[in-house]
Structure 1
């Protein structure tokens, strides 16, 4: 009988040996009670467990940066938890009209939105937009509008393709005669519009761009800032508002096949997409993992009954832990929900150790009752030690400032105690019904194969020592390069629509939401901060309320009055004045334009407008080729589409221009409340937006920017500050927790083992695996981040468990390493780690980068834990001191 003698049996050994035997004898009552408790707990959890997806509550409110952001959020509540609606179109006219329509539609939906703010839309900016141009730019626009006046007046009277071609023909003829006209932009723009239509990627001609003299861009964007009403009791708090936004877009005429493209980003959309991709990755990983875990358990147990036993213990333990979480905390958050993953990894370890030890004793020729007594005592004593150290490791997170992980510590630490009780209660009861003694003998092959592999490290122990030393030195050299990635955007699925839209906004300084904010109590403080911050090399610009009052308004208004005289006589564009042209008339007008272009190119080859004329001439040739090969109906459709491309934005451009000529002198007090309230709070405080000069995707640039701004404005806040400070708070919380855990575990091991030497032997594999894992984060370029750092508690738990099992079995059963590696303990460690590996390796393939990095961290960490425990530790245990023996406290 493989056990200790009665004199050496500890009190814990006797208690659990007797308990396992009782549960085995009264298995029916035990299982019936367990079933009732599990059913009751399941109902309780389903009705009461909440989900808190608000990430802002995961760090202590007393941290300075949380105090600052809380004050800012109270001062400017409209900027908290927003959706950024990005509208994009080929012309500024189209995107502006769509923005106004959608904003008006959203303002009606008070059920889903608290506030709707389109920063560049509305009557104020339409009326006073020209005042924000420089004097030189405004003079240029005035001259161009005056030059284009005849063209616009003629087309406005008859907005057709034929009339447009006639006007261009006349202008080119005047140009050929020597008249000074700037036609190159018009000719180039018309050519580009025509070419786009012929190539099957149509885009409208922007008359507003022609007026300003700018080359038409490939796209124009405007934003709407929407503050949705969130429901944190739901898994996706912003889902209802996002769906309502898409519905409102449809009502506003913004469709997927239209000219205007709609995208949604911002805090709420990013969180929604992140949670969605994370859960989707978990679902696929869960299916794969379940299959692989069953396969691993089959090779470990070689008996279906034992596999079912492990799965039943896992399921019940998980239910009971969820019930405790419901009672003690009331909800799970995006971090504490990881207790399920942690429990699977560690709970399986408990059940596997107990069942493999039972089978080992059973194979020695003992009866089921004797095997239960020995395995219950041995496994119970070892698992109790593991439970104590694991619970200490998890509970060490409770006093940290990272409340999200503190809740994880409460739930998971208690979950380990639950796992111990479930394993040593339910597993013995199930053994009476599930496995038979004959089935256990099928485990001989894996025992021999695992043992033979592990023998190599003992045979070549000097090489093992040398390799361990060399690897440790190399890892120590890489340790200074270990880094923490503060950028939350790097955690998300980079193919997600919200993250792609957000990154595009970051590339545009005027639209970028990635800036810091500071508050000034009065105008004097505002001026001081603006001046000091603007001098910093890390700052690109500082924007505040006074910047919305343009300078030199009197001089600009004089130019605008000149423009009004030019625009005034132009009639409004209307379909009622449109004279329908026949196909023949349109073709004749285009032919005449072609002739005029040929004559101009031939007569004035050195003229500056010739390149644009050649370009338009080439586009006309391509148009004629398509017309000649098309049916009459196809020709009509093509020319009608081209007419729309060229003239669709003219009415909006003229209307906007007319409104802009009605600008008036205004001051800060005349700014619309929707604007001023976002820059000056009711308390009187002013907001400053501080934009970085560097790309904050670089963590070093992020740190430089934040620290530099904090020297001038210590209470600065905003996304860059919160990102950096939250990351440092998380790192500090984990360092604090691990120091507390290490101290607690050392004390527990000294009490349990009564030996400094064997306490160090238990800790050494954990420390080595941690060192190697940290080094591999550098080699694999997978830095620590907000997601994968959560893997550390599990690695701590499994590392302590594995080495403690080995040391305990070696000492309490007086086994040398050559025998130890062939025991059920070594096999249980191997298969427990393998179960956890397949549990987490599938996460590496998740589209969510945070989840994938967690999978990489867990896989690498568990692999090193396995190597350190089963290869390095047996080599260190191969020659224990004579008579050295550790026992658990009696």
Structure 2
């Protein structure tokens, strides 16, 4: 393979430049290092003061995309849906949950420096007064029946809220039941038994009168939601940290856990972004430390000189600092993908130094002077290094024209970083070799980096046949390649915000992901609702009109009838116990109650309620046993605790019920502004919201829901639409970037090599490695996502380096057989690949799944590149060499 004359001229020009540069760096070490260190200090200071972090996932894509345009319109009309925190409060009873949420929302509302708005809709006086109007007429009638049945019991408790009175009243109810009166007191029996059992087991559980009186399911989760719009501090790395800290401090100050047994969790887009940023930054930080340690170990094995390792690490750190300063100047911030640039740089930035130093060491057996060895090593490897820097930069720069702005920023930063790395390497390494030179070494055939390839090179046709078969199998796997649209899968699955968000997604009634559709008027909202509601993918459609209760006249009549039937005495405030009952007196009330319950359990006419009666009987017998086995003072405390848990929530329940029975007719004007503004914008836009019928945490369910809604409302926006459309845009951007990278690398190779056979030899292993990597995603069930999809275009730029070094060395020294694998070039390729794999592999340990998957996929790709370069490429070179040698 002869080299064209014009290429010799080009080579001589680059050689002269490299020789002059290396010689200058070698002769002026002190001044150059001082200048570089001064520039590094200034660059680091500038970076620390000015580099920010952008966590907005939507902003990582071009604003010109249709879904971004729809999103901008939606955010302009209804900004209160964006950048929110959702506080989820759970407690053992609905009353406790409501009280905890009321206290927390009131407390946070006073902190106007941290929170713009605090919305607790269920706590609004409007819903407290008119909440029953949103129930059906049958539900209201059932409530009336429940209250009527409970009236004697409640009246008795109001007069004397004591265990003595309560047990007597309960015994009377059981007696009436046995006499033939129809009473539904099984739920009360279960609730009382549960309260007694809880106290006997050492934990407290208040009885929920709301659950009993309103016939609610006692085992359903009791949740209340508070929606906040925090004032984010973008001058900080974690803009939401102050707001989230304030919330946790408020819950601790109010002692919600001890007072109400309340559990507070924080989710919403702001909390998810905060968790993702935290895991991404911590993951990048940990990966960076691991990468530096791993790279240092590999360098020590490769270079066999601690001084040389220090030299390379100094070069690496200087290049990293200058690249970070460039990122600050050119972009101004890092995003959740470009934040990994440091680890990428660590994995790639040492390659140039390894090739230069190993060639320098290999020349030691010739007997040249130190400067001559440096100049010769620079001439021998310099051209390859320049080609590699350019092609790697092209691999990164290919992201710039795409609509995936997040990766485009990574391309700008890392692409330029590769050029910076080359300049720093060719400056620092020669300069420091004057004082910390690597020891010249000779490389033997038994070098561990070339044993396996040498064995297989005896059978080049077999290697290529196996490669063709593997390529065919890989092509068959391509239709099964998946893209994971779900942004939640990019977050730490153990994070509180993610787990809470997924819990809400599983409940169609509470799904935080929905389709938001702004329309021009109420008539359009009604027509759209009629189109979307019948869709199987849609659970329900909500608009402002749905907050106007139906059948209000009939419901108001029913509520008035309930109020009249109960009378004013029903809502008399609960009075303190009339007198102090001794333990013996309270025990005396248990005997007739137990006798009546035992009769009830034996009554075949009451088989259904008999189970509840038996449960309560067991609990009361256990209570008697506990009273007999404890000291008097402990017995008194036990009974006092049970009494408190039985009646503590009754006053709150009766007060809220009394308010709910004062409902009045509701129209749009009477709706609270906090609610109306969420469904009607100041410009007159009405909001229609479609909720998914299934859990759209699943990619296929997400796609079906979004496409179904888009058929009738192409202007639909919000999270599910952003996720799906962003995924489609990212896939398109990936294809564009891969194509641009391939075209750019082809042009660069043609301009630098000017030989079609050499270009093919360089590209074939690279394309094979890319094909095998894609097939590996199918076999190993590693779907592409918003982060790891950069792998293939990136591998084009990274992986081509090894092919270039191998082909260039083979052409210039006419080596195509196993001897090529005995050179410093093969050794440098092997250890460069190891350092790159360590750099990328360290990302696998990140708690951020997106970053971890990127590291895993890049590591797999580098492994395939190494195999193709050491197995497939030498076999190809041998065959081409034999064919050319034949007459």
Contact 1:103 1:224 in 2 (8 A): yes
2:374 corresponds to: 372
TM-score, normalising length from structure 1?
A: 0.95
Question: Aligned partners of 1:35, 1:846: CA distance in 2, in Å?
Answer: 31
Deviations along 1:253-300, one digit per CA (max 9) or x if unpaired, are 423785111110000111111122233333333343333222211111
Distance 1:567 1:801, change over 3 A: farther
Give the superposed CA RMSD. Answer: 2.2
1:728 corresponds to: 728
Deviations along 1:355-403, one digit per CA (max 9) or x if unpaired, are 1111111233322122111111122111111112122222222221122
Contact 2:445 2:822 in 1 (8 A): no
Question: Aligned partners of 1:578, 1:319: CA distance in 2, in Å?
Answer: 78
1:226 corresponds to: 228
2:245 corresponds to: 243
When structure 1 is superposed on structure 2, of 397-406 and 626-635 the one drifting more is 626-635
Distance 1:712 1:585, change over 3 A: same
2:677 matches 1:677: yes
Contact 2:491 2:498 in 1 (8 A): yes
2:553 corresponds to: 554
TM-score, normalising length from structure 2?
A: 0.96
2:48 corresponds to: 46
Aligned equivalent of 1:131, options 116, 133, 145: 133
User: Post-superposition shift, 1:729?
Assistant: 1.2
Contact 1:346 1:797 in 2 (8 A): no
Distance 1:725 1:446, change over 3 A: farther
Residue 264 of structure 1 aligns to a residue whose secondary structure is strand
Contact 1:176 1:604 in 2 (8 A): no
When structure 1 is superposed on structure 2, of 423-432 and 6-15 the one drifting more is 6-15
2:159 corresponds to: 157
Residue 805 of structure 2 aligns to a residue whose secondary structure is helix
Q: How many residues align?
A: 880
Residue 615 of structure 2 aligns to a residue whose secondary structure is helix
Aligned equivalent of 1:360, options 353, 362, 365: 362
Alignment of 1:710-789 (within 5 A): 710-789=710-789
Contact 1:342 1:794 in 2 (8 A): no
Residue 440 of structure 1 aligns to a residue whose secondary structure is coil
Question: Aligned partners of 1:251, 1:272: CA distance in 2, in Å?
Answer: 23
Contact 1:727 1:786 in 2 (8 A): yes
1:491 corresponds to: 490
2:87 matches 1:85: yes
Contact 2:363 2:440 in 1 (8 A): no
Residue 662 of structure 1 aligns to a residue whose secondary structure is coil
Contact 1:298 1:304 in 2 (8 A): yes
Deviations along 1:398-440, one digit per CA (max 9) or x if unpaired, are 221122222221121211111111111111111111125xx33
2:806 corresponds to: 806
Alignment of 1:181-192 (within 5 A): 181-192=183-194
Question: Aligned partners of 1:581, 1:604: CA distance in 2, in Å?
Answer: 36
Contact 1:69 1:717 in 2 (8 A): yes
User: Post-superposition shift, 1:590?
Assistant: 2.6
Contact 1:485 1:784 in 2 (8 A): yes
Residue 763 of structure 2 aligns to a residue whose secondary structure is helix
2:642 corresponds to: 642
User: Post-superposition shift, 1:854?
Assistant: 1.9
1:542 corresponds to: 541
Question: Aligned partners of 2:879, 2:548: CA distance in 1, in Å?
Answer: 83
User: Post-superposition shift, 1:523?
Assistant: 1.5
Contact 2:97 2:224 in 1 (8 A): yes
Distance 1:246 1:519, change over 3 A: same
1:95 corresponds to: 97
Deviations along 1:14-34, one digit per CA (max 9) or x if unpaired, are 321232122212222222222
User: Post-superposition shift, 1:548?
Assistant: 0.9
Question: Aligned partners of 1:480, 1:179: CA distance in 2, in Å?
Answer: 70
Distance 1:858 1:256, change over 3 A: farther
Alignment of 1:181-220 (within 5 A): 181-217=183-219, 219-220=221-222
Structure 2: state its 5+ residue gaps. none
2:597 corresponds to: 597
When structure 1 is superposed on structure 2, of 447-456 and 3-12 the one drifting more is 3-12
When structure 1 is superposed on structure 2, of 35-44 and 139-148 the one drifting more is 35-44
2:387 matches 1:385: yes
Contact 1:300 1:446 in 2 (8 A): no
When structure 1 is superposed on structure 2, of 688-697 and 650-659 the one drifting more is 688-697
2:874 matches 1:874: yes
Distance 1:592 1:791, change over 3 A: farther
1:652 corresponds to: 652
2:12 matches 1:10: yes
Question: Aligned partners of 1:572, 1:764: CA distance in 2, in Å?
Answer: 88
Alignment of 1:223-372 (within 5 A): 223-255=225-257, 258-372=260-374
Alignment of 1:509-524 (within 5 A): 509-524=508-523
User: Post-superposition shift, 1:846?
Assistant: 3.1
Deviations along 1:625-656, one digit per CA (max 9) or x if unpaired, are 33333332332232222222222211111111
Alignment of 1:408-423 (within 5 A): 408-423=410-425
Distance 1:605 1:440, change over 3 A: farther
1:525 corresponds to: 524
When structure 1 is superposed on structure 2, of 179-188 and 325-334 the one drifting more is 325-334
Residue 675 of structure 2 aligns to a residue whose secondary structure is helix
Question: Aligned partners of 1:7, 1:249: CA distance in 2, in Å?
Answer: 75
